[in-house]
Amino acid sequence: MIQIDLSGKVIFITGAMGAIAEHMVKRLSAAGAMLVLIDVKPEHEARQTLKSWQISDQAYFYHSCDITDSGRLTRIVNESFERFPQMDTVLGHAGGCGLHPFATTSEAEFERVFRFNFLAQVYLTRAVFAQWVRGKISGHLIFTSSYVARVPHTQIPAYASAKAALENFARCMALEYASSGIRVNVISPGNVAAGSSLKVFDQDPAYREFVLRVTLGKRNSPESIADAFLFLCSPLAAEISGQILSADYGSGIGNRL
């Protein structure tokens, strides 16, 4: 088995208290990385959760933040770089949704879902890239997308559209910042048996039937997504940029017949 050592590396993670993120945090911490964790959950609750995950208090810094608040997010990014000037890996993992059919979703709710899943990632990118360019750091930004960015589904139009925008944005950034030594990649899970994916799977029979048929009746485990992040954060992925790693158990094939 390949052993990945991330000792000495600092990794910044948004959406760090989620169901998939639990396994990302565990994998990255076990590999030796220091973690800067961002989530909307209040700090005292987050610390209790991290303790239950057996993450040492010395292995992370935590900030409570709604990442759609660009001002606060930028301040946290700047403070994190003051503490860790050479931080070179950032995971834009925050995202998710429930079912929101277009006809019954208000304009405000549609915009909220889109802002959370796309524009907040733009805010993160702007703040982080400013630090990397200023410090001449060859950084690596990794987003979490979804196979629905490329395989349309009903009842999640704002979410699917936001993820499609995110994947294109990531590739644009990989091109635009290549001369600065900055890499951008995306991990695109299929239907994961955790988090918002689980919610949609449970609530939408047509979606559930499609997922089970295309993936031979199997669903992504959150551990498999964490392993994909561990790989991209490691030296094994040092020459990968502008790519979408589809850890989706075949969901992205898109055969709906």
pLDDT of residue 221: 86
Model pLDDT, residue 199: 66
Q: Is 203 helix (H, G, I), strand (E, B) or coil?
A: helix
Q: Which two tokens stand for residue 149?
A: 């960015």
For residues 110-133, one letter each, b for 16 or more C-beta atoms within 10 angstroms of the residue's C-beta and e for the rest, the string is bebbbbbbbbbbbbbbebbbebbe
Q: Quote the mean pLDDT of the chain.
A: 92
* Domain ranges, ordered by start, for the chain: 10-250
Is residue 184 a contact partner of residue 171, using CB atoms and an 8 Å limit? yes
Q: Which residue, among 61, 80, 82, has the nearest Cα to 72 in the 3D structure?
A: 80
| pLDDT tens-digit profile, the chain (257 residues) | 678 999 999 999 999 999 999 999 999 999 999 999 999 999 999 999 999 999 999 999 999 999 999 999 999 999 999 999 999 999 999 999 888 999 999 999 999 999 999 999 999 999 999 999 999 999 999 999 998 999 888 889 999 999 999 999 999 999 999 999 999 999 999 877 666 666 666 777 776 777 677 666 667 788 999 999 999 999 999 999 999 999 877 777 765 54
Domain 10-250 fold: Rossmann fold (3.40.50)
d(CA 236, CA 217): 31
Q: Enter the pTM of the model.
A: 0.92
pLDDT of residue 204: 74
Spatial separation of the C-alpha atoms in residues 43 and 244, rounded to whole Å: 32
Active site residues: 159
